[in-house]
Structure 1
Amino acid sequence: MLIDKLHALTSPRLAVIDVNATVQAAALSLSRPGIGLVVVCNGNGGAEGVVSKSDLVRHLVRSASSVPPVSALMSRHIVSCTPEDDLREVWQTMAATSLQNMPVVDIGARPIGILDIRDAMKVLFEREEIQEQILSDYVTGVGYR
């Protein structure tokens, strides 16, 4: 299954802020329900970095008084996927690198969604259940539904 099939799940999770935005703007975005990652974009809409809730907490622990732009605490190394990527492979990457959220980007590296690992696991699990039921029906002679 391709990531593109999950657009209805990934699109509402997308939160984007400008590279010059404040840490408070990132915190405000991260405070919204279902948002676990904010994509930091340049003026052309291209992804420059990401900010997670963990990044924000680490920043607050280190310097409670300073108010830097979000670019000072964002992760510049972005692990992302495209709509054409295979869900199982993306999930394996997320699991191997302990990522809870992954940006979905288009060919121009512009964010179009955020894949949450729970959504990926749910879809993969549902697909496995369907396959198991089909195999069981075949083996028991019930036929295909």
Structure 2
Amino acid sequence: MRIDSLHPETSARLAAVDLDTSLRAAALWLSKPAIGLVVVCHGSGEAAGVLSKSDLVRHLANSGPAEAPVSTLMSRSFVSCGPDDDLHSVWQTMTTQRLQNLPVLGAGAKPIGVLDIRDAMKALFQQEELQERLLANYIGGVGYQ
């Protein structure tokens, strides 16, 4: 299963901001229930970094300024995936590196979505259920349906 099969979910979770966006504005994005990661972009649209809810909470808990630009706090080194990547492989990377969200980058490193680990797990679980049903039907003599 490829990442692009989850495009409706990943595109709905995309929150992209410019480098000079304030942390307060990023916090507004992150306050939305489905948004767990903000992708920070250069003016030309390619991803420059990411900002997570936990990054922002740690910053504010230490009395960091809310009006600072996201570029001061974003992670410049980040893991991403592409629409053609294998979902199971990406999920393994996410679990190994303890990532809740991962930017999905298209051509030119432009963000096209954010993969949430719960969406990945749900899709993989549904795929396994389908395989189990097909196998049970095959063994039961029903054939593939």
Q: Tell me the TM-score normalized by structure 2.
A: 0.96
Which residue identity lines up with residue 50 of structure 2 in the other structure? V
Query: Which residue is equivalent to 1:105?
Result: 105
Q: Which secondary structure state, in structure 2, belongs to the residue aligned with residue 124 of structure 1?
A: helix
Which residue identity lines up with residue 81 of structure 2 in the other structure? C
Query: Which residue is equivalent to 1:125?
Result: 125
CA distance in 2, matches of 1:40, 1:28: 14
Superposed CA deviations along residues 2-60 of structure 1, whole A, max 9, x for unmatched, are 11111111101000111011010110110112000000001000101100000001101
Stretches of structure 2 that go unaligned for 5 or more consecutive residues are none
Which residue identity lines up with residue 34 of structure 1 in the other structure? A
Q: Taking every aligned residue pair, what percent have the same amino acid on both sides?
A: 61
Which residue identity lines up with residue 115 of structure 2 in the other structure? L
Calculate the aligned-residue CA RMSD, in Å. 1.1
CA distance in 2, matches of 1:66, 1:110: 26
Query: Which residue is equivalent to 2:16?
Result: 16
By how many angstroms is 1:66 displaced? 6.1
Query: Which residue is equivalent to 2:139?
Result: 139
Which residue identity lines up with residue 93 of structure 2 in the other structure? T
Preserved CA contact (<8 Å) 2:60 2:66: no
Which residue identity lines up with residue 43 of structure 2 in the other structure? G
Q: Which secondary structure state, in structure 1, belongs to the residue aligned with residue 131 of structure 2?
A: helix
Which residue identity lines up with residue 13 of structure 1 in the other structure? R
Stretches of structure 1 that go unaligned for 5 or more consecutive residues are none
Any runs of at least 4 consecutive aligned residues in structure 1 with deviations exceeding 2 A, and if so which? 63-67
**What does residue range 1-145 of structure 1 map to in structure 2 within 5 Å?**
1-65=1-65, 67-145=67-145
Q: Which secondary structure state, in structure 1, belongs to the residue aligned with residue 98 of structure 2?
A: coil
Q: Tell me the TM-score normalized by structure 1.
A: 0.96
